[in-house]
Every structure is written in structure tokens, then in C-alpha cells.
A = this chain, B = another copy of it.
Amino acid sequence: MSLRPGTVFLADCPARLAIEIISTKWAVVTLFALSEGPVRHGDLVELIGGVSRKVLTQTLRRLQEHGLVDRKVYAEAPPRVEYGLTELGQTLKEPIVALTTWARVNGEAVTGFQEDSGERV
């Protein structure tokens, strides 16, 4: 093995914990949804197919707790609530956009792939 040690390999390191926080489909899709600017909660529910309000709220709360997303309330009637990336969250834009671009380009290959019957020996 020529692998250099990397902290994502260690169970209790911050790097691994950071991977755990963002490596869920809802976190990835939500972060991507916010990558171009703040979005209202209701608009996120509409935009992100298949997510419930509850799961979206949980996802946003977890990202808030870790300083990646913030929530702004505007004193309007009715009050407007928007979610956006924090400065720390902005550092995720490039990796998340890279991942979703990969998914758009390779999604069909990945989901349509049929494994060979045998193994290469």
C-alpha cells in the first residue's frame, strides 16, 4: 500500500466527522441548492424533489449547528426566512458543485450499470 495517512481514515478525527456531517444525500443536495445564494425554506421544499419539510428542517438545522448554513429572518409580513451558506459553508461550494456535476454527467452510467457475470481473474 502506498497510501499516505489521512485523517479521514481515523474514526474520531475532525476530518472524518466533517465527512459524516456532509455525506448524506440531503446535505449534498441542500448545500448545492444554496450554492448560488440564499433560498427560502418553502422554495427549498419545492426545489428539492422528494424531501419532506421535516427532513429538510433537520438537515438545515444540522448544517446550522456546524456553522455551514445560517438562517436569516426578515421582519416582513409575513416574516421571510432565508437559508444561506456561511463563510465556512462557502468553502464547500467547489467540492459540492464538483460532486453534483459528476452526478449529472455520470448518473446514467452509474445507475444503469449492469455488473459482469464473472470476476476478472
Q: Which residues of A contact B (CB under 8 A)?
A: 1-3, 6-25, 27-29, 32-33, 36-37, 39-40, 43, 47-50, 64-68, 70-75, 88, 91-92, 94-95, 98-113, 115, 119-121
This chain: how many copies in the complex? Answer: 2
The answer on a CB contact under 8 Å between B88 and A95 is: no
Residue of B nearest to A2 (CB): B36
Question: Cβ of A16: which chain B residues have Cβ within 8 Å of it?
Answer: 25, 29, 49-50, 103, 107
With A and B bound together, what is the CA distance between A56 and B16 in angstroms?
16
The answer on a CB contact under 8 Å between A121 and B23 is: no
The answer on a CB contact under 8 Å between A29 and B18 is: no
Closest CB in chain B relative to A95 CB, distance in Å:
4
